[in-house]
Protein backbone atom coordinates (compact mmCIF):
# COMPACT_ATOMS: atom_id res chain seq x y z
CA UNK A 1 0.00 0.00 0.00
CA UNK A 2 1.11 3.51 -0.66
CA UNK A 3 -0.56 6.53 0.83
CA UNK A 4 0.36 9.77 -0.85
CA UNK A 5 -0.02 12.97 1.05
CA UNK A 6 0.00 16.37 -0.60
CA UNK A 7 3.50 17.91 -0.73
CA UNK A 8 4.50 20.90 1.33
CA UNK A 9 4.14 24.36 -0.15
CA UNK A 10 6.58 24.88 -2.96
CA UNK A 11 6.94 21.17 -3.78
CA UNK A 12 5.36 21.23 -7.21
CA UNK A 13 7.06 18.54 -9.22
CA UNK A 14 4.25 17.69 -11.63
CA UNK A 15 4.92 18.45 -15.30
CA UNK A 16 3.41 21.67 -16.53
CA UNK A 17 1.37 19.77 -19.10
CA UNK A 18 -0.34 17.79 -16.37
CA UNK A 19 -1.11 20.95 -14.44
CA UNK A 20 -2.91 22.46 -17.38
CA UNK A 21 -5.24 19.49 -17.66
CA UNK A 22 -6.83 20.44 -14.33
CA UNK A 23 -6.31 24.17 -14.61
CA UNK A 24 -9.86 25.06 -15.58
CA UNK A 25 -11.19 23.62 -12.31
CA UNK A 26 -8.95 25.84 -10.23
CA UNK A 27 -9.06 28.96 -12.36
CA UNK A 28 -5.38 28.57 -13.26
CA UNK A 29 -3.59 28.71 -16.57
CA UNK A 30 -0.09 27.49 -17.42
CA UNK A 31 1.28 30.92 -16.66
CA UNK A 32 -0.57 31.36 -13.35
CA UNK A 33 2.56 31.04 -11.24
CA UNK A 34 4.16 34.02 -12.96
CA UNK A 35 1.06 36.10 -13.55
CA UNK A 36 0.55 39.17 -11.43
CA UNK A 37 -2.60 39.85 -9.45
CA UNK A 38 -3.38 42.73 -11.79
CA UNK A 39 -3.52 40.49 -14.86
CA UNK A 40 -5.60 37.70 -13.31
CA UNK A 41 -9.28 37.80 -14.15
CA UNK A 42 -11.93 37.64 -11.45
CA UNK A 43 -13.09 34.11 -10.56
CA UNK A 44 -16.11 32.96 -12.49
CA UNK A 45 -19.25 32.55 -10.41
CA UNK A 46 -20.37 28.91 -10.03
CA UNK A 47 -23.01 27.77 -12.52
CA UNK A 48 -26.54 27.46 -11.18
CA UNK A 49 -29.16 24.77 -11.74
CA UNK A 50 -30.88 27.25 -14.03
CA UNK A 51 -27.67 27.52 -16.08
CA UNK A 52 -27.28 23.76 -16.23
CA UNK A 53 -30.85 23.22 -17.41
CA UNK A 54 -30.81 25.94 -20.07
CA UNK A 55 -30.83 23.49 -23.01
CA UNK A 56 -33.45 21.25 -21.39
CA UNK A 57 -35.60 24.25 -20.50
CA UNK A 58 -35.37 25.78 -23.97
CA UNK A 59 -36.31 22.50 -25.65
CA UNK A 60 -39.18 21.66 -23.29
CA UNK A 61 -40.67 25.16 -23.19
CA UNK A 62 -40.47 25.42 -26.96
CA UNK A 63 -42.52 22.24 -27.34
CA UNK A 64 -45.02 23.29 -24.68
CA UNK A 65 -45.35 26.68 -26.33
CA UNK A 66 -46.28 24.96 -29.59
CA UNK A 67 -49.08 23.10 -27.81
CA UNK A 68 -50.61 26.38 -26.63
CA UNK A 69 -50.20 28.36 -29.84
CA UNK A 70 -53.33 30.23 -30.87
CA UNK A 71 -56.62 29.17 -29.36
CA UNK A 72 -56.80 25.91 -27.45
CA UNK A 73 -59.18 23.82 -25.40
CA UNK A 74 -58.14 21.98 -22.25
CA UNK A 75 -59.40 18.67 -23.55
CA UNK A 76 -58.09 15.14 -23.94
CA UNK A 77 -56.28 16.00 -27.19
CA UNK A 78 -54.29 18.75 -25.49
CA UNK A 79 -53.28 16.53 -22.59
CA UNK A 80 -52.21 13.83 -25.03
CA UNK A 81 -50.04 16.41 -26.78
CA UNK A 82 -48.48 17.31 -23.44
CA UNK A 83 -47.80 13.62 -22.79
CA UNK A 84 -45.94 13.41 -26.08
CA UNK A 85 -43.95 16.55 -25.26
CA UNK A 86 -42.85 15.13 -21.91
CA UNK A 87 -41.96 11.73 -23.32
CA UNK A 88 -39.85 13.27 -26.09
CA UNK A 89 -38.12 15.43 -23.46
CA UNK A 90 -36.61 12.34 -21.79
CA UNK A 91 -38.97 12.36 -18.86
CA UNK A 92 -39.88 8.77 -19.69
CA UNK A 93 -43.18 7.13 -20.53
CA UNK A 94 -44.29 6.10 -17.03
CA UNK A 95 -43.29 9.38 -15.42
CA UNK A 96 -44.92 11.39 -18.23
CA UNK A 97 -48.20 9.51 -17.94
CA UNK A 98 -48.24 9.99 -14.17
CA UNK A 99 -47.42 13.70 -14.47
CA UNK A 100 -50.17 14.36 -17.00
CA UNK A 101 -52.72 12.44 -14.94
CA UNK A 102 -51.83 14.53 -11.90
CA UNK A 103 -52.00 17.66 -14.04
CA UNK A 104 -55.49 16.78 -15.29
CA UNK A 105 -56.71 16.53 -11.71
CA UNK A 106 -55.07 19.81 -10.73
CA UNK A 107 -56.52 21.67 -13.72
CA UNK A 108 -59.98 20.33 -12.92
CA UNK A 109 -59.75 20.97 -9.18
CA UNK A 110 -58.29 24.49 -9.48
CA UNK A 111 -60.43 25.38 -12.52
CA UNK A 112 -57.34 26.39 -14.51
CA UNK A 113 -58.12 27.83 -17.94
CA UNK A 114 -54.98 29.62 -19.18
CA UNK A 115 -51.68 28.32 -20.55
CA UNK A 116 -49.50 29.70 -17.78
CA UNK A 117 -51.84 28.18 -15.22
CA UNK A 118 -51.33 24.79 -16.84
CA UNK A 119 -47.56 25.30 -16.93
CA UNK A 120 -47.53 26.36 -13.27
CA UNK A 121 -49.51 23.23 -12.44
CA UNK A 122 -47.02 21.09 -14.35
CA UNK A 123 -44.14 22.75 -12.50
CA UNK A 124 -45.80 22.04 -9.14
CA UNK A 125 -46.43 18.40 -10.03
CA UNK A 126 -42.82 17.95 -11.18
CA UNK A 127 -41.59 19.38 -7.87
CA UNK A 128 -43.88 17.00 -5.98
CA UNK A 129 -42.69 14.00 -7.99
CA UNK A 130 -39.06 14.97 -7.37
CA UNK A 131 -39.40 15.32 -3.59
CA UNK A 132 -38.19 11.75 -2.86
CA UNK A 133 -34.89 12.65 -4.57
CA UNK A 134 -34.28 15.46 -2.08
CA UNK A 135 -33.30 13.58 1.05
CA UNK A 136 -31.44 14.62 4.16
CA UNK A 137 -27.84 13.44 4.04
CA UNK A 138 -25.91 12.98 7.25
CA UNK A 139 -22.39 11.80 6.49
CA UNK A 140 -21.31 12.22 10.10
CA UNK A 141 -23.40 9.44 11.63
CA UNK A 142 -20.56 7.02 10.87
CA UNK A 143 -16.81 7.61 11.01
CA UNK A 144 -15.48 6.98 8.53
CA UNK A 145 -18.46 7.38 6.25
CA UNK A 146 -17.56 5.12 3.34
CA UNK A 147 -18.63 6.03 -0.19
CA UNK A 148 -18.19 3.74 -3.19
CA UNK A 149 -18.23 5.76 -6.42
CA UNK A 150 -19.41 3.74 -9.44
CA UNK A 151 -20.46 4.25 -13.04
CA UNK A 152 -19.71 3.47 -16.66
CA UNK A 153 -16.78 4.90 -18.58
CA UNK A 154 -16.83 8.56 -19.50
CA UNK A 155 -19.41 9.91 -17.04
CA UNK A 156 -16.89 12.07 -15.18
CA UNK A 157 -16.69 9.83 -12.12
CA UNK A 158 -13.22 10.73 -10.84
CA UNK A 159 -13.67 14.45 -11.44
CA UNK A 160 -17.08 14.37 -9.77
CA UNK A 161 -15.58 12.51 -6.82
CA UNK A 162 -13.05 15.32 -6.44
CA UNK A 163 -15.74 18.00 -6.73
CA UNK A 164 -17.80 16.37 -3.98
CA UNK A 165 -14.70 15.98 -1.84
CA UNK A 166 -13.99 19.69 -2.16
CA UNK A 167 -17.47 20.45 -0.84
CA UNK A 168 -16.84 18.16 2.14
CA UNK A 169 -13.51 19.89 2.79
CA UNK A 170 -15.16 23.30 2.58
CA UNK A 171 -17.56 22.10 5.30
CA UNK A 172 -14.63 21.26 7.56
CA UNK A 173 -14.70 17.49 7.09
CA UNK A 174 -11.63 15.35 6.55
CA UNK A 175 -11.56 13.20 3.41
CA UNK A 176 -9.44 10.32 2.12
CA UNK A 177 -9.35 8.92 -1.42
CA UNK A 178 -8.88 5.25 -2.34
CA UNK A 179 -7.60 4.73 -5.89
CA UNK A 180 -9.44 1.48 -6.64
CA UNK A 181 -9.34 1.99 -10.41
CA UNK A 182 -6.26 -0.18 -10.84
CA UNK A 183 -6.83 -0.97 -14.52
CA UNK A 184 -5.51 2.35 -15.75
CA UNK A 185 -2.31 3.81 -14.35
CA UNK A 186 -3.52 7.22 -15.51
CA UNK A 187 -6.59 6.90 -13.28
CA UNK A 188 -4.47 6.60 -10.15
CA UNK A 189 -2.30 9.49 -11.29
CA UNK A 190 -5.39 11.61 -11.89
CA UNK A 191 -6.78 10.91 -8.42
CA UNK A 192 -3.37 11.59 -6.85
CA UNK A 193 -3.25 14.92 -8.64
CA UNK A 194 -6.69 15.79 -7.26
CA UNK A 195 -5.46 14.77 -3.83
CA UNK A 196 -2.45 17.03 -4.17
CA UNK A 197 -4.59 19.95 -5.26
CA UNK A 198 -7.20 19.46 -2.55
CA UNK A 199 -4.82 18.46 0.26
CA UNK A 200 -6.44 15.01 0.50
CA UNK A 201 -4.41 11.83 1.16
CA UNK A 202 -4.71 9.08 -1.46
CA UNK A 203 -4.29 5.37 -0.78
CA UNK A 204 -3.07 3.54 -3.89
CA UNK A 205 -1.29 0.39 -5.03
CA UNK A 206 0.41 -0.53 -8.28
CA UNK A 207 -1.18 -0.91 -11.68
CA UNK A 208 -3.24 -4.11 -11.84
CA UNK A 209 -3.48 -4.50 -8.06
CA UNK A 210 -6.55 -5.99 -6.42
CA UNK A 211 -9.06 -3.14 -6.15
CA UNK A 212 -10.65 -4.72 -3.09
CA UNK A 213 -7.25 -4.76 -1.36
CA UNK A 214 -6.87 -1.04 -2.06
CA UNK A 215 -10.29 -0.41 -0.53
CA UNK A 216 -9.39 -2.53 2.51
CA UNK A 217 -6.10 -0.71 3.08
CA UNK A 218 -7.77 2.67 2.68
CA UNK A 219 -10.50 1.80 5.16
CA UNK A 220 -7.95 0.58 7.70
CA UNK A 221 -6.01 3.83 7.31
CA UNK A 222 -9.14 5.97 7.54
CA UNK A 223 -10.17 4.24 10.77
CA UNK A 224 -6.74 4.75 12.34
CA UNK A 225 -6.64 8.41 11.32
CA UNK A 226 -10.22 9.15 12.32
CA UNK A 227 -11.07 10.39 8.83
CA UNK A 228 -14.63 11.62 8.38
CA UNK A 229 -15.22 10.41 4.81
CA UNK A 230 -13.54 7.75 2.69
CA UNK A 231 -14.29 8.02 -1.04
CA UNK A 232 -13.41 4.93 -3.09
CA UNK A 233 -12.95 5.71 -6.78
CA UNK A 234 -13.54 2.62 -8.94
CA UNK A 235 -12.87 1.76 -12.56
CA UNK A 236 -15.49 2.78 -15.09
CA UNK A 237 -17.18 -0.28 -16.51
CA UNK A 238 -20.11 -1.30 -18.64
CA UNK A 239 -22.84 -3.24 -16.86
CA UNK A 240 -22.26 -6.02 -19.40
CA UNK A 241 -18.67 -6.59 -18.19
CA UNK A 242 -19.42 -9.32 -15.68
CA UNK A 243 -15.82 -9.64 -14.43
CA UNK A 244 -15.66 -5.95 -13.56
CA UNK A 245 -19.09 -6.00 -11.95
CA UNK A 246 -17.90 -8.93 -9.84
CA UNK A 247 -14.92 -6.81 -8.80
CA UNK A 248 -17.32 -4.19 -7.40
CA UNK A 249 -19.18 -6.92 -5.54
CA UNK A 250 -15.88 -8.09 -4.05
CA UNK A 251 -15.11 -4.56 -2.82
CA UNK A 252 -18.54 -4.52 -1.18
CA UNK A 253 -17.89 -7.86 0.52
CA UNK A 254 -14.46 -6.83 1.79
CA UNK A 255 -15.84 -3.63 3.29
CA UNK A 256 -18.82 -5.45 4.82
CA UNK A 257 -16.49 -7.98 6.44
CA UNK A 258 -14.93 -5.12 8.41
CA UNK A 259 -18.29 -3.49 9.17
CA UNK A 260 -21.65 -4.86 7.91
CA UNK A 261 -22.96 -1.32 7.43
CA UNK A 262 -20.27 -0.53 4.83
CA UNK A 263 -20.23 0.91 2.29
CA UNK A 264 -22.69 3.44 3.64
CA UNK A 265 -23.21 5.01 0.24
CA UNK A 266 -22.91 3.50 -3.23
CA UNK A 267 -23.21 6.52 -5.48
CA UNK A 268 -23.68 6.03 -9.20
CA UNK A 269 -22.51 8.83 -11.46
CA UNK A 270 -24.83 9.16 -14.46
CA UNK A 271 -24.31 11.28 -17.57
CA UNK A 272 -27.53 13.17 -18.32
CA UNK A 273 -26.67 13.07 -22.01
CA UNK A 274 -27.36 9.33 -22.13
CA UNK A 275 -31.06 10.00 -21.50
CA UNK A 276 -33.24 6.99 -20.79
CA UNK A 277 -30.30 4.62 -21.35
CA UNK A 278 -29.12 5.75 -17.92
CA UNK A 279 -32.03 3.82 -16.41
CA UNK A 280 -30.64 0.59 -17.85
CA UNK A 281 -27.24 1.36 -16.34
CA UNK A 282 -28.84 2.11 -13.00
CA UNK A 283 -30.90 -1.10 -13.10
CA UNK A 284 -27.78 -3.25 -13.45
CA UNK A 285 -25.56 -1.39 -10.99
CA UNK A 286 -28.35 -1.28 -8.42
CA UNK A 287 -28.85 -5.03 -8.71
CA UNK A 288 -25.12 -5.78 -8.60
CA UNK A 289 -23.88 -3.49 -5.83
CA UNK A 290 -26.91 -1.88 -4.21
CA UNK A 291 -26.63 1.65 -5.56
CA UNK A 292 -28.45 3.89 -3.09
CA UNK A 293 -27.81 7.38 -4.47
CA UNK A 294 -27.19 9.18 -7.75
CA UNK A 295 -25.22 12.13 -9.04
CA UNK A 296 -26.40 13.43 -12.42
CA UNK A 297 -23.58 15.04 -14.41
CA UNK A 298 -23.22 17.05 -17.62
CA UNK A 299 -26.70 18.56 -17.44
CA UNK A 300 -25.41 21.64 -19.23
CA UNK A 301 -24.33 19.60 -22.25
CA UNK A 302 -27.71 18.16 -23.25
CA UNK A 303 -31.45 18.80 -23.35
CA UNK A 304 -32.17 15.66 -21.32
CA UNK A 305 -32.55 17.10 -17.82
CA UNK A 306 -35.95 15.42 -17.59
CA UNK A 307 -34.02 12.24 -16.82
CA UNK A 308 -34.02 13.28 -13.14
CA UNK A 309 -37.80 12.94 -13.10
CA UNK A 310 -37.88 9.43 -14.55
CA UNK A 311 -35.07 8.30 -12.20
CA UNK A 312 -37.03 9.53 -9.19
CA UNK A 313 -40.36 8.15 -10.39
CA UNK A 314 -38.85 4.69 -10.91
CA UNK A 315 -36.34 4.34 -8.07
CA UNK A 316 -37.15 6.93 -5.37
CA UNK A 317 -33.39 7.28 -4.83
CA UNK A 318 -31.77 10.46 -3.54
CA UNK A 319 -30.11 12.57 -6.22
CA UNK A 320 -27.25 14.04 -4.21
CA UNK A 321 -25.80 16.42 -6.78
CA UNK A 322 -26.27 17.90 -10.23
CA UNK A 323 -23.29 18.65 -12.46
CA UNK A 324 -24.28 21.95 -14.08
CA UNK A 325 -21.03 23.10 -15.70
CA UNK A 326 -17.37 22.34 -16.31
CA UNK A 327 -16.00 24.46 -13.47
CA UNK A 328 -14.83 22.88 -10.26
CA UNK A 329 -17.59 24.54 -8.24
CA UNK A 330 -20.30 23.79 -10.82
CA UNK A 331 -21.84 21.05 -8.71
CA UNK A 332 -25.13 21.82 -7.00
CA UNK A 333 -26.94 19.92 -4.26
CA UNK A 334 -30.28 18.67 -5.55
CA UNK A 335 -33.37 20.71 -4.66
CA UNK A 336 -36.73 19.59 -6.05
CA UNK A 337 -38.36 23.03 -6.11
CA UNK A 338 -35.33 24.72 -7.67
CA UNK A 339 -35.05 21.99 -10.31
CA UNK A 340 -38.72 22.23 -11.28
CA UNK A 341 -38.57 26.04 -11.42
CA UNK A 342 -35.45 25.97 -13.61
CA UNK A 343 -36.89 23.35 -15.96
CA UNK A 344 -40.42 24.75 -16.34
CA UNK A 345 -40.67 28.52 -15.84
CA UNK A 346 -43.68 30.47 -17.11
CA UNK A 347 -43.99 30.52 -20.89
CA UNK A 348 -43.13 34.21 -21.08
CA UNK A 349 -39.86 33.54 -19.22
CA UNK A 350 -38.56 30.88 -21.57
Annotated binding site for GTP: 151-158, 233-237, 297-300
Q: Are 229 and 175 in contact (CB under 8 A)?
A: yes
Terminal CA-CA length for the chain = 54
Q: Which residues are annotated as a binding site?
A: 151-158, 233-237, 297-300
Compute the C-alpha angle 346/124/54, nearest 5°: 45
Looking at the DSSP bridge assignments, the partners of residue 294 are 268, 319
Q: Are 91 and 309 in contact (CB under 8 A)?
A: yes
Q: Which of 305, 291, 269, 21 is nearest to 155 (CA)?
A: 269
Looking at the DSSP bridge assignments, the partners of residue 202 are 4, 177
Give dist(CA 159, CA 272) in Å, integer.
Answer: 16
Looking at the DSSP bridge assignments, the partners of residue 332 are 322
Region class of 298: left (phi > 0), else alpha (psi between -120 and 50), else beta: left
Q: Is the dihedral of CA 163, 168, 169, 174 positive or negative?
A: negative
Q: Are 288 and 249 in contact (CB under 8 A)?
A: yes
Give dist(CA 346, CA 129) in Å, integer.
Answer: 19
Amino acid sequence: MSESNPPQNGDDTKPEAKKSGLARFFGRSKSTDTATAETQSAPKAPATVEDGLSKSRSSLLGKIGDVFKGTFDLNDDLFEELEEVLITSDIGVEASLELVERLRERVKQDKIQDANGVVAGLRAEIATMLKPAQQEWNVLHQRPYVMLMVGVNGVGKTTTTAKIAKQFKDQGRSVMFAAADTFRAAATEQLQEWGRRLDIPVVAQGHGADAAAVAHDALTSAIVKGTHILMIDTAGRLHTQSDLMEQLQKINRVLANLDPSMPHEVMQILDAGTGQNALTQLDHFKEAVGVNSVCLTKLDGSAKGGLAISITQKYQLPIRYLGVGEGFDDLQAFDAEAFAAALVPDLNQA
